[in-house]
Structure 1
Amino acid sequence: MSMKEHGHQSEGGPVLAVENLSVEFWVGEQWAAAAKHISYDLMPGEVLAIVGESGSGKSTSSMAIMGLLPKNARVHGSAKYAGRELIGASDAVQRSVRGEGIAAIFQEPMTALNPVYTIGFQISEVLLTHRPGMTRKQAKERALEMLTLVEMPDPPKAYNSYPHQLSGGQRQRAMIAQSIALDPRVLIADEPTTALDVTVQAEILDLLRNLHQKLDSAIILITHDMGVVADMADDVMVMKDGDVVEYGAAEKIFSNAEHPYTRALMASVPHLGLGTASYEAASTRDDATAALVLDDVSIDYPKRGRVPAFRAVADASLTIEPGEVLGLVGESGSGKTTIARAVVGLIPIAEGQLRVAGQEMVGVDAKQLRAVRRKIGIVFQDPGSSLNPRWPIGQSIGEPLELAGHNKGEISGRVEELLDMVELPRDFRNRYPHELSGGQRQRIGIARALALDPTVLVADEPTSALDVSVQARVLELLQQIQKEKQFATLFVTHDLAVVDMLADRIAVMQHGKIVEQGTKEQILRNPQDPYTQRLIAAVPVPDPAEQRQRREARAALLAEQKR
């Protein structure tokens, strides 16, 4: 289907016309299709979102247009930029179009920017390469102008900084400044906000929207985040296993998706505001019966090399009752993972008290600490790196039981029970981690964490590395097991929509301090702290009309808080 067929026509024709584009990779001894028969027309000033899960072909098809695929790829079909064919074009033609015609903003700025050159040098180099008549002085002026345009705090300082000296959001701004330096007519933004905190993501999306209006660039937005799509897109193309399964205006796709896969994708997106009410307000908190108690806990990181010692968490107090889920939310560097690691006993506590099932964890000997640790299970963020690649799955799940002194017969029976619990076939015990998908590996992580029937489960961003439909299934499973087993859960995340779905109570962290805590209803529907208000306002929701209202409300809130 082309853009013309669903009514998006513009004078002067498309800036990018893609027709029947297919990409294959030589794998082993055969060609494997990564993207099949993709066609669309991109009009000037339009935002097309290409959405789909890992392996759907959304990035591959866009990189093919720019000639940025590896040597083992071959491309068929046509992609015309302003009437010039790019598929099969010479390197000289590709280079002349890259940067000035079509520019890319990549997912991870740290790998896209060169670590040994300053930001200013890298932006200037793009200008000097493409504009032979330009002087170094003019290039510097233009680079500073670009850094100002992307709202970089202190552009002259950023110009002289190296990538590692900037925060994630600042690096992303620097990369956008480099991408737009030559006023491209098409911007390909490949997951431009995936690695960013929610408030920084909102700022980068505002920035892309403003630039798009100022420069009238067309944007291809590659993402799996339906909230971002609702915030930005005019049209949406949904991909699955290399095929385009649905394509149309954003409003239509969100309100009336036709393909079952699109509907399933929409249904699995956590939506802030649609969480169910907590099972109880839990107003009476009894430290004697609590599964986990933190009382004025402070945690320090010692001096390392040139990095001075610093206090990562200050005076944190939390209580989680058996059967309760506490969502610990905050942005990168807020201290939430530090608290999770301290609860598990991986980091010592500088001040305060920490009790698990009534047993003190501070100031006890190694034997007592081992006994307490058996009551705690942990699910890590990246299931791939937390499983031993040389061990079959059964051995990974059984390891906690073996360390606790169980015999082989008991371990074997318990491993089968645990595989049943996380809804995986029992014969998976003989497989290795690399033979499993990300969602299956995370289920194994959950099974291992529950091997010793813990009193407290610590889940540290357990679904952030997963596709949205896989995330939904893993979260449902976790919720189901938690209701059945009634362990207390400390759920660490930056995703407020996930917390809305799972948590009974929420604690919000900023700069090492808990700024606000209460029931889910208090925190998400009636936040008191200005930081919590900003955090909630920044979350995009998968509904274009609601997202427009939220964006206006956020702008009003920020203006009010600045006053």
Structure 2
Amino acid sequence: MSTSKDASVVSHAPKPGEPVLSVSNLGVEFWVGDRWAAAAKHVTYDLMPGKVLAIVGESGSGKSTSSMAIMGLLPKNARVTGSAKLSGRELINAPIESLRKVRGEGISAIFQEPMTALNPVYTIGFQIAETVLTHRSNMTRKLAKARAIELLGLVEMPDPEKAYNSYPHQLSGGQRQRAMIAQSIALDPRVLVADEPTTALDVTVQAEILDLLRNLHQKLDSAIILITHDMGVVADMADDVMVMKDGAVVEHATATDLFAAPSHPYTQALMASVPHLGLGEATSDVHGIREDSTAALHLENVSIEYPKRGRVPAFLAVSEASLSIQPGEVMGLVGESGSGKTTIARAVVGLVAPKEGTLRVAGQDMIGVDAKQLRAVRRKIGIVFQDPGSSLNPRWPVGESIGEPLELAGRDRKEISKRVEDLLDLVELPRDFRNRYPHELSGGQRQRIGIARALALDPVVLVADEPTSALDVSVQARVLELLQNIQKEKQFATLFVTHDLAVVDLLADRIAVMQHGKIVEQGSKEQILRNPQNDYTKRLIAAVPVPDPAEQRERRLARAALLGRTAS
């Protein structure tokens, strides 16, 4: 089904050879306190019809800010200079009514987190239909509903009519992202701005969304601005790559040239920081999952059930899971959201009780453990959380957060003060950082504080739950290297929970793969990543994008063959 466009509100289509979007000397500043602070400066590029331009860089590089400036989506304390022409039509400082007519039809956005971008009190179908009705004067509600269902089918949503009547919270993360993509393409835009569209998704869902974007891009001939810090996604999708640092463009090249020979030192450092599946050192499976009194952490046939709550029935989250981790060993626990890996981590630290099986942490049986025993064993467990910002008390200096486990353990003030300094040394932060507050630190620095706090009591077992997923690639590399060095020095056992197989390849000795609450395969990382036996493990590995366009093309073809379909 097609809909006619109101030509009076949309700029003309570009002539052959002309860019659909031409950005020249774009600058963005924010009024901070008593001065203007530059967030982007002298950004210049041309986006050709049907092409994908990836804009990459770390947090604060200006990649999202410069793109949102084009659409007029910055806060009131921002000012924008320069030019951005959509098929010859100037967007910078254009009247708001003019921009509203262009948004959605000339240029549209796909945001990082669909749960916050979609309105939770309206159904998916209503939100998509509303987009069409707002921009199409000749559209009836019946036609808008038909168009919304058509769009949900176009983005390969399972059961589009059911999804039309669903609320955002009733859909999975991947389905919500599909719904937001359907809304963004409702008016057949000539430019799509995709701002970290797959960062919050599991690797297999990410691969599906990238396939979807690639297919839609070809069907609609839309140009795409892809904002990301994932170089594997860049290799998978981009025709051209623009690298930004501190608000400025430091390199602009074709994807093939940039990956083959990055010229700017910052780009080279960025590329060197990217974990690459297949580059981890080989290990042998020396411990297996046998019963062993020396194991720091041992699970045998553990099942974990969440009890019935109100109308919500009881749910078996983990079924007959067995694994064992020795001192000095890193076990990577991988799987998609809902696979049960975080539930196992929660059981290890005593936050949920196993329904059956054997679970021992540092020699303590966790089945039927009383409060006193639980307090004692928790002193032997360290936890590093996914989001260091929300896991640190914003009202405390970070030195107090690091010292809190020691205070609860009854250590005296002098001992705590000395230990906090030693821990800051261990995580390679200046000692005077103890007086800073979390908001005064970067994401990587906050995660280092989180690691220092987790190691305060010299744990026997460290549980790391997605500790680097929220970090930029270069910061992630530094935190992982730090964690590796500390782990080798202190020889604690580590349960590393993640969905990033490239990180696991770098860090882990052994890997356990979870699906639907079961451990479906485990062994040395050499066995799991280089010679997987389980079909789910094979699909998981095939879905990981690698930072090499040629290799990624081959992997995409292999993944399509594995799934029994044709690669685009």
TM-score bucket of the superposed structures, by smaller chain? over 0.9
Out of 112, 127, 130, which is 1:125 matched to?
130
CA offsets, 1:403-432, max 9 Å, x none? 222222222221111111111111112222
Q: Counterpart of 1:60 in structure 2: which amino acid?
A: T
Aligned to 1:484: 489
Out of 446, 451, 465, which is 1:446 matched to?
451
Distance 1:352 1:207 in 2: 42
Out of 539, 551, 555, which is 2:556 matched to?
551
Distance 2:15 2:350 in 1: 61
Change (3 A) 1:10 1:328: farther
Distance 1:365 1:111 in 2: 41
Q: 1:104, 1:189 within 8 Å by CA — same for their partners in 2? A: yes
Distance 1:91 1:429 in 2: 47
Q: Counterpart of 1:254 in structure 2: which amino acid?
A: F
Out of 140, 161, 165, which is 1:160 matched to?
165
Aligned to 2:108: 103
Aligned to 2:513: 508
Distance 1:135 1:412 in 2: 69
Out of 174, 182, 186, which is 2:191 matched to?
186
Q: 2:463, 2:496 within 8 Å by CA — same for their partners in 1? A: yes
Out of 78, 83, 90, which is 1:78 matched to?
83
> Could you list the runs of 4 or more consecutive aligned residues of structure 1 that deviate by over 6 angstroms after TM superposition?
none
Aligned to 1:266: 271
CA offsets, 1:315-360, max 9 Å, x none? 1111001110000001111111111111011112211111122221
CA shift for structure 1 position 283: 4.7
Q: Percentage identity across aligned positions? A: 83
Aligned to 1:382: 387
Change (3 A) 1:308 1:280: closer
Distance 1:72 1:148 in 2: 40
CA shift for structure 1 position 181: 1.1
Distance 1:157 1:509 in 2: 29
Distance 2:93 2:293 in 1: 71
Q: Counterpart of 1:357 in structure 2: which amino acid?
A: A
Tell me whether 1:37 sits opposite 2:42 in the alignment. Answer: yes
CA shift for structure 1 position 10: 8.9
CA offsets, 1:205-237, max 9 Å, x none? 001101111111100001111000000000000
Distance 1:279 1:22 in 2: 53
1:269-418 equivalence runs, <5 A? 269-278=274-283, 281-283=286-288, 285=290, 287-418=292-423
5+ residue gaps in structure 1? 1-8
2:513 counterpart SS class: strand
The total of aligned residue pairs comes to: 553
Q: 2:545, 2:552 within 8 Å by CA — same for their partners in 1? A: yes
1:146 counterpart SS class: helix
2:400 counterpart SS class: helix
Q: 1:202, 1:538 within 8 Å by CA — same for their partners in 2? A: yes
1:123 counterpart SS class: helix
Q: 1:328, 1:508 within 8 Å by CA — same for their partners in 2? A: yes
1:231-250 equivalence runs, <5 A? 231-250=236-255
Out of 55, 59, 68, which is 1:54 matched to?
59
Q: 2:284, 2:524 within 8 Å by CA — same for their partners in 1? A: no
1:94 counterpart SS class: helix
Q: 1:10, 1:43 within 8 Å by CA — same for their partners in 2? A: no
CA shift for structure 1 position 560: 8.0
CA shift for structure 1 position 281: 3.7
CA shift for structure 1 position 305: 3.3
Distance 1:364 1:88 in 2: 64
Q: Counterpart of 1:30 in structure 2: which amino acid?
A: R
CA shift for structure 1 position 11: 3.0
Q: Counterpart of 2:402 in structure 1: which amino acid?
A: I
Distance 2:285 2:516 in 1: 30
Distance 1:185 1:176 in 2: 14
Distance 2:165 2:298 in 1: 47
5+ residue gaps in structure 2? 1-13
Distance 1:160 1:438 in 2: 39
Q: 1:285, 1:321 within 8 Å by CA — same for their partners in 2? A: no
Distance 2:172 2:370 in 1: 40
2:564 counterpart SS class: helix
2:382 counterpart SS class: strand
CA shift for structure 1 position 392: 1.8
Distance 2:272 2:565 in 1: 35
Distance 1:446 1:360 in 2: 26
Distance 1:72 1:254 in 2: 37
Q: 1:48, 1:235 within 8 Å by CA — same for their partners in 2? A: yes
CA shift for structure 1 position 121: 1.3
Distance 1:394 1:138 in 2: 60
RMSD between aligned residues: 1.5
Distance 1:180 1:399 in 2: 50
CA shift for structure 1 position 111: 1.3
Q: 1:23, 1:33 within 8 Å by CA — same for their partners in 2? A: yes
CA shift for structure 1 position 282: 3.3
Aligned to 1:255: 260
CA offsets, 1:350-403, max 9 Å, x none? 111111222212113222222222111111111111112222222211121222
Distance 1:376 1:171 in 2: 36
Q: Counterpart of 2:360 in structure 1: which amino acid?
A: R
CA shift for structure 1 position 446: 0.8
Aligned to 1:171: 176
1:489 counterpart SS class: strand
Distance 2:296 2:471 in 1: 29
Q: Counterpart of 1:546 in structure 2: which amino acid?
A: E
Out of 457, 460, 482, which is 1:455 matched to?
460
1:400 counterpart SS class: helix
Aligned to 2:542: 537
Distance 1:306 1:23 in 2: 51
TM-score by length of 2: 0.95
Tell me whether 1:430 sits opposite 2:429 in the alignment. Answer: no
Q: 2:217, 2:223 within 8 Å by CA — same for their partners in 1? A: yes
CA shift for structure 1 position 286: 5.0
1:460-479 equivalence runs, <5 A? 460-479=465-484
Tell me whether 1:213 sits opposite 2:218 in the alignment. Answer: yes
Distance 1:512 1:159 in 2: 30
CA shift for structure 1 position 135: 1.6
